[in-house]
Amino acid sequence: MTATATGARFRLSQRLRKLVLTIHVVTTVGWLGAVLVFVALAAIGLTSTETQSLRSALFIMEPLAWYVLVPLAAASLVVGIIQSLGTPWGLIRQYWVTFKLLITIFSTIVLISYMTTFNQMSEAALNPASTADQLRPFAGSVLLHGGLALAGLVISVVLSIYKPRALTPYGHRRTERTETPGS
Mean pLDDT by 10 residues, the chain (183 residues): 49 93 96 97 94 96 98 98 91 95 97 97 97 96 97 96 91 79 54
CA dist 81 → 15, 138, 169 (Å): 17, 33, 19
Task: State the pLDDT at residue 176.
Answer: 83
Domain boundaries, the chain: 11-173
Identity of residue 161: I
CATH number for the region 11-173 comes to: 1.20.120
Task: State the pLDDT at residue 172.
Answer: 87
Task: State the pLDDT at residue 180.
Answer: 63
Task: State the pLDDT at residue 145.
Answer: 97
Q: Are 22 and 77 in contact (CB under 8 A)?
A: no
Q: Are 32 and 153 in contact (CB under 8 A)?
A: yes
Q: Distance between CA 48 and CA 133 in Å, rounded?
A: 12
Q: Which among 73, 100, 72, 91 has a CA at the least distance from the CA of 9?
A: 91
Task: State the pLDDT at residue 168.
Answer: 92
Q: Are 132 and 51 in contact (CB under 8 A)?
A: yes
